[in-house]
Structure 1
Amino acid sequence: MKYNLTDLRLFIAIAECQSLTHGAQKAFLAPSSASHRIKILESSLGTALFHRQARGVQLTQAGEIFLRHARQVFAKLEQMHSDLAPYAHGVQGHVRLWANTHAIHSYLPNDLATFLSHNPQISVNLEEQASSDILAAVARGDTEIGIIAGHDDHQDVTLLPYREDRLVLITSASHPLAGTSELSFSDVVAEPFVMLHAGSAIHTFTMNAAANLGTHLNVRVQVKSFEAVCRMVASGVGIGLVPREAVKQSGSPSLAVIGVKEEWAQRDLKICLSPRTTLSPFAAALVDHLRPEGV
């Protein structure tokens, strides 16, 4: 390889400025030096990256591809520095934790705040993923700890209790269904719904529940948090299906809560571990902290 990070920064600067001269200035290089570096870069890659024009440069198709990858290189470098930065400030251990939407929005903020305040030498890399993806990642060893919802025992992982919760229907206080104590999901599947964004675990779960009834949900609005779901529903935009804990945390007096008859509404959260992987002392300490007392 006959190019380095300086060449990549120069290339990105020229591409963004659409000018070799201005790109060279942005990269703190003389135009002649910049031109020489770009020629060596193109020679090394075996293809032209720019169309030279009278008033600047334009990326070739190969240049467009190279620009995308060059930006990804620097994004990865920034992530690397971000991951390493805590160790320069006294952090001695790092734990990777994947959790589903419910856990991240409901329980983990307080639990992690308490854990990290008692363990300042530990950092936690938390990612939001669907429960099925978390199961697979833990089984592969891609993450040390997972928190999932609604899965029975899985042969490739060990499941420990974390929190008990249940999905409930919510409506505005003025909705015709308000005051109903319990309904089947089939009773409301035709109603307009307010949901978390596509790709969230509960969005996928709810859409699958509707598909099992042979129908599609009427999704009126998609938002980024359970708090936003509760606020939209309270305003009369539609109805929602959320964990009971999310309703408690919203504290909205304008919501009516309706029980769901189906067994799948019980969505207890569980800690997911690989039986083939020995936890680091830091990860083991986090698991002990997350498990309910007496379990």
Structure 2
Amino acid sequence: MAIDLDQLRTFVAVAEAESLTRAMDTLHLSLPAISRRLSSLEEELGVELLARSTRRVSLTQTGREFLPRARRLLDELEESLLGIRETAAHRRGLVTIACIPTAAYYFLPATLADFARRFPAVRVRVMDLAAEGVIDAVASGGVEFGVGMEGAGHPDVEFRPLRRDPFVLACRRDHPLAKQKEIKWDDLIQERLVGVSRRSGNRLILDRALLPLGIRPNWHYEAEHLSTSLGLVEAGLGVAVVPRLALPREPHPILVAKTLGHPRIERATGVVLRRGSSPGPAARTLLELLEEQMVSG
């Protein structure tokens, strides 16, 4: 017997409205579509459920007996679906994500606190990786999703940008450049710059923007991580060009960030998703919370 939910919903709506035309507003269907559904249902059951006239419809005896059963079937289905969603939303388990360190520092704490209130039984594992590592983790399916930055593409992943952050100059508060309102790249010719490795996605963004303009910074020190770069600056070994997110949220007692322009360089930060794959229910909620935090943060 091929009775479907649309047929049941249509029958209940018409029976309650006692009119095909009034049921059109409830179901958002045309009159012929409603008639076809009702006729198909009656053919499957082998009985007449409704007595139709030009002005109204009324239930037959069989229709009156069938109406509460149809309502019960629809109610039970809705309750079952809600139960499945509830179980999926509150299931115990583990969500694994990959995230570049700067985004993890700025956006994850508040996001995870909100997520924990909604899913107290779900554990979260954060893989703190460089941009390339985030892409590889997502492409391999080892994580539900990633938070990374625009850079080298991968055929198995897609990047969804959420915000753009400028590169700034990080220097000590007692450095002469700290007194300037805005720094130009020409002002850095004589400075010992602390940079990140050539393998870094941040370095790739800088090189792509500067080299065509003939600007070749004096990278006197190179480090693998932005936190190491800032440590060298704090020790007075030089100044660093870093994304604004690499610096602490609150004013630092030693370091200060200065606007860096001519040219102004930005990087796009966002989520990294595996093509053709969708995160599970809990991971999807975490992703939505993180997207909200990144856009507004």
Q: TM-score, normalised by structure 1?
A: 0.54
Cα–Cα, structure 1 residues 274 and 264, in superposed 2: closer, same or farther, change >3 Å?
A: farther
- Is the contact made by 1:99 and 1:147 (CA closer than 8 Å) also made in structure 2? yes
Task: Give the superposition deviation at 1:243.
Answer: 2.8
| Partner SS, residue 183 of structure 1 | strand
| Partner SS, residue 174 of structure 1 | coil
Q: Deviations over 1:154-187 (max 9, x none)?
A: 7643333444422210222222222323334454
- Is the contact made by 1:129 and 1:201 (CA closer than 8 Å) also made in structure 2? no
What is the aligned partner in structure 2 of residue 284 from structure 1? 284
CA distance in 1, matches of 2:115, 2:217: 43
Cα–Cα, structure 1 residues 223 and 272, in superposed 2: closer, same or farther, change >3 Å?
A: closer
Task: Give the superposition deviation at 1:258.
Answer: 2.0
- Is the contact made by 1:196 and 1:224 (CA closer than 8 Å) also made in structure 2? yes
What is the aligned partner in structure 2 of residue 84 from structure 1? none
What is the aligned partner in structure 2 of residue 14 from structure 1? none
Cα–Cα, structure 1 residues 151 and 189, in superposed 2: closer, same or farther, change >3 Å?
A: farther
Residue 219, structure 1, aligned to residue 221, structure 2? yes
What is the aligned partner in structure 1 of residue 172 from structure 2? 172
What is the aligned partner in structure 2 of residue 159 from structure 1? 159
Any unmatched runs of 5+ in structure 2?
1-89
What is the aligned partner in structure 2 of residue 108 from structure 1? 108
Task: Give the superposition deviation at 1:105.
Answer: 2.9
Q: Deviations over 1:47-91 (max 9, x none)?
A: xxxxxxxxxxxxxxxxxxxxxxxxxxxxxxxxxxxxxxxxxxx97
- Is the contact made by 1:101 and 1:202 (CA closer than 8 Å) also made in structure 2? no
What is the aligned partner in structure 1 of residue 129 from structure 2? 129
- Is the contact made by 1:167 and 1:267 (CA closer than 8 Å) also made in structure 2? yes
CA distance in 2, matches of 1:98, 1:170: 26
Aligned residue identity for 1:251: P
Aligned residue identity for 1:270: G
Residue 120, structure 1, aligned to residue 120, structure 2? yes
- Is the contact made by 1:163 and 1:292 (CA closer than 8 Å) also made in structure 2? no
What is the aligned partner in structure 2 of residue 97 from structure 1? 97
- Is the contact made by 2:194 and 2:238 (CA closer than 8 Å) also made in structure 1? yes
Aligned residue identity for 1:171: C
- Is the contact made by 2:169 and 2:260 (CA closer than 8 Å) also made in structure 1? yes
Q: TM-score, normalised by structure 2?
A: 0.54
Aligned residue identity for 2:269: L
- Is the contact made by 1:169 and 1:239 (CA closer than 8 Å) also made in structure 2? yes
What is the aligned partner in structure 2 of residue 150 from structure 1? 150
Identity %: 25
Aligned residue identity for 2:283: A
Alignment of 1:180-259 (within 5 A): 180-185=180-185, 187-188=187-188, 191-194=191-194, 201-202=201-202, 213-214=215-216, 217-219=219-221, 222=223, 226=227, 229-230=229-230, 232-234=232-234, 236-259=236-259
The higher radius of gyration belongs to 2
CA distance in 2, matches of 1:189, 1:118: 52
Cα–Cα, structure 1 residues 105 and 262, in superposed 2: closer, same or farther, change >3 Å?
A: farther
Cα–Cα, structure 1 residues 194 and 105, in superposed 2: closer, same or farther, change >3 Å?
A: farther
Aligned residues: 204
Cα–Cα, structure 1 residues 158 and 263, in superposed 2: closer, same or farther, change >3 Å?
A: farther
Task: Give the superposition deviation at 1:229.
Answer: 5.0
Cα–Cα, structure 1 residues 289 and 174, in superposed 2: closer, same or farther, change >3 Å?
A: same
- Is the contact made by 1:170 and 1:258 (CA closer than 8 Å) also made in structure 2? yes
Cα–Cα, structure 1 residues 149 and 253, in superposed 2: closer, same or farther, change >3 Å?
A: same
CA distance in 2, matches of 1:237, 1:208: 26
CA-based RMSD: 3.8
| Partner SS, residue 260 of structure 1 | strand
Cα–Cα, structure 1 residues 271 and 243, in superposed 2: closer, same or farther, change >3 Å?
A: same
- Is the contact made by 2:102 and 2:245 (CA closer than 8 Å) also made in structure 1? no
Any unmatched runs of 5+ in structure 1?
1-89
Cα–Cα, structure 1 residues 204 and 268, in superposed 2: closer, same or farther, change >3 Å?
A: closer
